[in-house]
Amino acid sequence: MEKYRNPFLTVDIIIETDGGIVLIKRKNPPYGWALPGGFVDYGESVEAAAVREAKEETSLCVQLTKLLGVYSDPGRDPRQHTVSTVFIARADGTPRAADDALEVAVFNQAALPEPLAFDHHRILKDYYSPCIKK
């Protein structure tokens, strides 16, 4: 008999600041630059998880402003099938790397770092699309 499996629920946060968006350099595999984010805890809403993960990884208190979308391609995370709810948020202050973040920095669209982990290049392409209302 085949064991029933579900995708893992995650969140990613595009944190807007006056200088651009906040990205973290991952401390753990898969390596690369990424949007702050992580797994939703049992009993936690995706909104609460987004605020928590943003604080844990960037030391910033964020205000969620919009839902960008849901990303569910089974290959988006090389570790397992994840479904991510992606929020746009606003924060003031200076980000500081913490938790799973080795580094944290603010980037504008013209100077995004490489490589980007997961499917974050696609998420940021959607975010910067002129067809998406922010």
- Ordered by start, the domain boundaries in the chain are 8-128
Q: Are strands 101-107 and 33-34 parallel, antiparallel or unpaired?
A: unpaired
Strand ranges for 2-134 from DSSP E: 8-17, 20-26, 33-34, 37-39, 63-71, 82-90, 101-107
CATH superfamily, domain 8-128, is Nucleoside Triphosphate Pyrophosphohydrolase (3.90.79.10)
pLDDT score of 133? 63
Tell me how far apart the alpha carbons of residues 58 and 15 are, in angstroms, rounded to a whole number: 10
Q: Are 30 and 115 in contact (CB under 8 A)?
A: no
pLDDT in tens, 34-44: 999 999 999 99
| Residue from 44, 56, 103, 114 carrying the catalytic annotation | 103
Q: How confident is the model at residue 73 (pLDDT cuts 50, 70, 90)?
A: very high
Nearest by Cα to 84 from 102, 97, 65, 71: 71
For residue 103, indicate whether it is catalytic. yes
Is this model's pTM higher than 0.85 or not? yes
Q: How confident is the model at residue 117 (pLDDT cuts 50, 70, 90)?
A: very high
Coil vs helix vs strand at 56:
helix
Tell me how far apart the alpha carbons of residues 69 and 134 are, in angstroms, rounded to a whole number: 12
